[in-house]
Amino acid sequence: MLKRLINADKKLALRFFVSFLLSAVLIALFCGLSAYAASSESGNSSAVTSDTSDTSGSTAKPGDYTDSEATSVGTPGSSVLQEVIGVDASQPLEIIILLTLIALAPSLLIMMTCFMRIVIVLGFLRSAMQTQNTPPNMVLTGIALFLTIFIMAPVFSEINDTAYQPYVNEKITTEEALETASVPLKRFMLKQTTNDDLEFFIKLSKTEIPEGTELTDEYKQTKLPLSTIIPSFIISELKRAFQMGFMIFLPFLIIDIVVGSTLMSMGMMMLPPAMISMPFKILVFVLADGWNLMIGSLVSSYNW
């Protein structure tokens, strides 16, 4: 069978043998590094054990002072990740969980800020003008990213002052820092979320609200979890983005209707109306100072 494979496709067989050889080399290298790490760890543990005994042979007890300099030995599970998510990256499964969280972090951050509404509205604008890939996706993403930084600057500044700086100065713990940092973010999301969407997800999550308790701003920020606020915020953002997209399409739709009816009245049935209407759309957008109107409308649409 091997001879048949070689005779049928020599390039494929060569690639197979090269990949097999590289895999074997990598496995051997990984095993060697693992053995070296295990031996160095055992050597360090024996060195620490030998340092705990003095020259007279007596073993140092906890709390005794020694003349040697103190050495810090890392203990598993003492990292920030262990405090926050219960993962110390010491097991293969925990490494997979950690990598998954790192991969999902940008998506979570995008969904909890104003990035989603901005990029959707800019996409509607490009579709309404029928300019295909102009501006390109990279440009639209960059505009949405910097507008997000501009709009979210007060929120990020408050998080830095109330949560990050005290945590760096070791005034609060990790859990307290996360809880404090979530308050400005909750306040921002709740200002953009409609009461109907919030009540809808409260009912879906079966969150128990004490009788006689009103959904005040303080109650929403302190009692409602992020698992209820974030979906409500996402749905509200989608609604507003599609509403703004509809308003953007209206003037360009009128231009399409006028151009299409004009071409039909002139008997130009074979000429695509989009080819004629697109320059007029660009001209109207530029003369109306469309970019300033668009960016101003997006920024002013957020409640501070």
For the stretch 192-243, pLDDT in tens is 998 889 889 988 888 777 776 667 777 777 778 888 899 999 999 999 999 9
Q: Would you state the pLDDT for residue 227?
A: 86
Number of compact structural domains in the chain: 1
Q: Would you state the pLDDT for residue 30?
A: 53
Mean pLDDT over each residue of the chain, to the nearest integer: 77
- What is the number of alpha carbons within 13 Å of residue 80 lying toward its C-beta? 9
Residue 108 lies in a domain: no
What's the gap between Cα 149 and its chain centre? 14
Residue 273 lies in a domain: yes
50-106 pLDDT tens trace: 444 444 444 444 444 444 444 444 444 445 555 555 545 556 776 777 777 778 878
Answer for the pair 151, 116: CB distance below 8 angstroms, yes or no. Answer: no
Residue 227 lies in a domain: yes
Residue with more model confidence, 5 or 256: 256
The alpha carbon dihedral of 185, 188, 189, 191 has a sign of positive
DSSP output for 25-80: HHHHHHHHHHHHHHHHHHHHHHHHHHHTB-TTSPBPPTT---SSPP-----TT-SH
Local structure of 67: helix, strand or coil:
coil
Give the mean pLDDT of 157-162: 91
* Cα angle 83-84-90, degrees, rounded to a multiple of 5: 65
Residue 45 lies in a domain: no
- Domain range holding 198? 116-124+132-300
Say if residue 254's pLDDT is above 70.
yes
Residue 269 lies in a domain: yes
Residue 226 lies in a domain: yes
Residue 89 lies in a domain: no
Residue 189 lies in a domain: yes
